Chain A
Amino acid sequence: MTAAPAPAGGLQTRPLRGSGGASRAGQGRAGWAFATPQAVLIGLFVLIPILMAFWVSLTDWRGRGSPFSGSVGFVGFDNYAAILTEPGLARQDFMTSLRNNAWYVLLVVPLQTAIALGLALVLNSRIRAKGFFRTAFYFPTVTSSVAISLVFIFLFTGGGAVNALLGVFGIDGPNWFSDSRGLLHLAGDGLGLWDSANPPAALTDGGPLGLTWWDWLSGPSIALAALILLVVWTSAGGYMLMFLAALQDVPADVREAAVMDGANRWQRFRAVTLPALRPTLFLVTTLGLIGTWQVFDQVYLISQGNPAKTTLTPAYLSYTSAFETGQWGRAAAMSFVLFAIIVVLTTLQRFLMRDKDAIAERRAARAVARRRTSTTFFHADR
């Protein structure tokens, strides 16, 4: 946004308009000619699909023929009711997938943000071989989820590297990807709060939305925990780069002033670095939220929702409901509910992280925007 828009050249542009080369009408035609191919593709493969899927979510289409043919029944919001309000297996499965994904988000987002921020802070100090460390942490982000999943299947298999390593310390590791025990259930066992084999009736007797309190509060299963480790390991490096870039924008003079005033390391971090990182922190958690609610690849590749449906996620359940069970209407409805969850949560997060220091935030955001529009490409070319 820093550069002047096209016709700002005033004196320069006027004569050439007269000469016809870039007349207003000519520019209009050229503008559409330039933009149309990509606009058509985006319309065809993003906008129209969304409209079509919304129609399908209101029908009982089973995947045969066209969803617009006369034999397809219009069912209103029945598909949404089946997964949200009506007691039954469909709702139980969908709620289980939401539970799993919620635990997943709750662990992945803070963990990957903390690791990314920590590594960025350490790398931003005077360190040798900075480039080497940065590359090592960032590389998983650019490799394919398939390759990484295959490696992690090997690492976390029953007799695999992780358990061999744990064995060195005398720990008998679990059979990671086939262990459905919930971490909170296990923690309760360990603390003597309850016995998972015989859970307290107060928790198993009822609960909201078709699952018992005991089920909601299971925590991630050990299998899901292994997926969480995989994803945190993969994505932290990318967010680390964003923090590193933001740390460049921390005003050096303010930091020096803080040093002069006798602020210690922690005070400097709280008062100078952290406020400057706020916009990036916001960005990283938002991207984290959006990404983690969409987890699909790793479930498809590693666990297929097993064991005992503890790695089932809405995205994967939607896929199997459509392609394996043929319940396209219900599957499309799940997609829209997932979409709504992502929109609501990111809006909520925006609201929660906003009011404080709104001015500082805007100022820093402008600094980031400036760096991005002008610096990125030219510095990249160095």
Chain B
Amino acid sequence: MTTTLEAPPVETPAPAPARRRFPVGRFLAYVVLVFFSIVYLYPFLIQVVTSFKTDSDATNSPLSLLPDPVTTAAFGRLFDTDFALWGFNSVWVSVLVTLGRVLLCSLAGYALARLRFRGRSALFTAVLAVMAVPGVVLLIPKFLVLNQLGIYDTPVALFLPLVADAAGVFIMKQFFESVPASIEEAARIDGAGTFRVFWSVVLPMARPALITLTILSFQASWNELPHFIVASQDRDLYTLTKGVATLTTGQLGSGNQFPLTLGAALLMTLPVAIVFFVFQRYFVAGANEGAVKG
């Protein structure tokens, strides 16, 4: 984002007193930042290091950043569980949710932003109202509908309800309203139909918004937990979040198998971490966009 680029120019014209105060203030700023960096990074370091420790080493020296001895035994044991299956389920669910959201939200967002049709403003009001419904309140209602439709405990129940996303519609509508309409008009004069204009002219222009929505959707579905808890119980349908949760709440959680659980936490964080570091600027855009959906 632009934050880094614009340092406030206040300090420069400040008279003499500021010069005296300045180094102290800046020193304190660094003290605060370094302190919080340690608070924020140490847990992640511990997570990485502990997953290469033995059980007893993890329990006996929890603060140490040097595994003694270094071992990958925890990862070996992790793959004796259904970890690979959970990972596979998480991948296909996230991919389907992301594709579905990006396609359907941009279609609906475009309709709300550009096309005139009866009931458009009512539909937009409904989108805003749905965005205001707290997600946790929907847990039991969602189960009721999945059960009634007869798709509870099926693969469809894992991804389809997550495709329903009012916030994504809102984001795309906002974006389409910010691009000039003249290019589409030109395409229409050339005789292209509405869908053709949307697909070949509008969508390519919407690249930044589409990337933001893709990332938000992927991250949200990869990290989702409560929906999977109420949508299925079949062990074959466990995703990473639900499966790894059983490592602490199930039989394995009773012992002190911290290298195992932290190794699982590490592996499940990696995909999102990679996406985060590659597309960081879009995450920042998304965070501010998320503010709108409040």
Query: Interface on A for B, CB 8 Å cutoff?
Result: 1-9, 12-13, 15-16, 19, 21-22, 24, 26-35, 37-39, 41-42, 44-50, 52-53, 56, 66-67, 118-119, 122-127, 130-155, 157, 159-161, 164-165, 233, 237-238, 241-242, 244-245, 248, 252, 255-256, 259, 265, 283, 286-287, 290, 293-294, 296-297, 300-302, 304, 315, 318-319, 322-323, 328, 331-332, 335-336, 338-339, 342, 372-382
Contact = CB atoms under 8 A, between A and B. Distances in A.
Contacts of B43: 151-152, 155, 233
Contacts of A144: 222-223, 225, 240-241, 268-269, 272
A44 B151 CA distance: 13
A52 B4 contact: no
14 contacts: A22-B188, A27-B115, A30-B117, A30-B195, A34-B194, A37-B108, A38-B108, A119-B36, A130-B4, A142-B272, A144-B240, A155-B62, A301-B248, A335-B137
B46 A125 contact: no
B177 A373 contact: yes
Interface string B98-124: 000000110110111111111110010
Contacts of A332: 140-141
A3 B32 contact: no
Contacts of A16: 185, 188-189
Contact of B289 (A66, A148, A259, A376): A376
Nearest to B268: A147
A265 B21 CA distance: 10
Interface string B168-186: 0100001101111110110
Contact of A41 (B116, B160, B184): B160
Interface of B: 1-4, 6-11, 13-14, 21, 25-26, 29-30, 32-33, 36-37, 39-41, 43-44, 46-47, 50, 58-59, 61-63, 104-105, 107-108, 110-120, 123, 126-127, 130, 133-145, 148, 160-161, 163-166, 169, 174-175, 177-182, 184-185, 188-189, 191-195, 198, 207-209, 212, 219, 222-223, 225-226, 229-230, 240-241, 244-245, 247-249, 256, 258, 261-262, 264-266, 268-269, 272-273, 276, 280-285, 287-292, 294
Contact of A52 (B119, B148, B192): B148
Contacts of A379: 1-2, 285
Given A27-B117, A373-B174, A12 B182 contact: yes
A250 B285 CA distance: 19
Query: Lowest 8 A-B CB distances belong to which pairs?
Result: A31-B117, A49-B141, A380-B285, A34-B111, A31-B115, A53-B141, A144-B223, A147-B265
A130 B19 CA distance: 22
A1 B21 CA distance: 44
B287 A242 contact: yes
Given A16-B185, A164-B62, 20 more contacts: A6-B181, A38-B108, A50-B138, A138-B283, A144-B225, A146-B265, A150-B247, A157-B256, A161-B62, A238-B290, A242-B287, A242-B291, A252-B9, A293-B134, A318-B139, A322-B140, A335-B136, A336-B137, A375-B2, A376-B288
A119 B34 CA distance: 11
B261 A150 contact: yes
A381 B161 CA distance: 30
Contact of A37 (B58, B104, B244): B104
* B108, B160, B289, B292 — most chain A CB neighbours (10 Å): B108
A67 B280 CA distance: 46
A154 B1 contact: no
A66 B166 contact: no
Contacts of B40: 136-137, 139-140, 233, 237
A14 to B, nearest CB: 11
B265 to A, nearest CB: 4
A315 to B, nearest CB: 4
Contacts of B4: 130-131
Contacts of B9: 252, 256
A150 B123 contact: no
B177 A2 contact: yes
B74 to A, nearest CB: 12
B225 A164 contact: no
B262 A151 contact: yes
A123 B14 CA distance: 20
Contacts of B258: 154, 157
Given A242-B287, A286-B294, A339-B137, A300 B144 contact: no
Contacts of B180: 3-4
A222 B281 CA distance: 38
A287 B229 CA distance: 24
Contact of A151 (B46, B59, B164): B46
B201 to A, nearest CB: 13
Contacts of B116: 6-7, 24, 27-28, 31
Given A142-B219, A152-B43, A42 B145 contact: no
Given A145-B223, A259-B10, A377-B285, A31 B185 contact: no
Listed residue (A3, A66, A331) with the most chain B CB atoms within 10 angstroms of its CB? A3
A151 B42 CA distance: 11
Contacts of A13: 185
Given A144-B269, A377-B212, A122 B262 contact: no
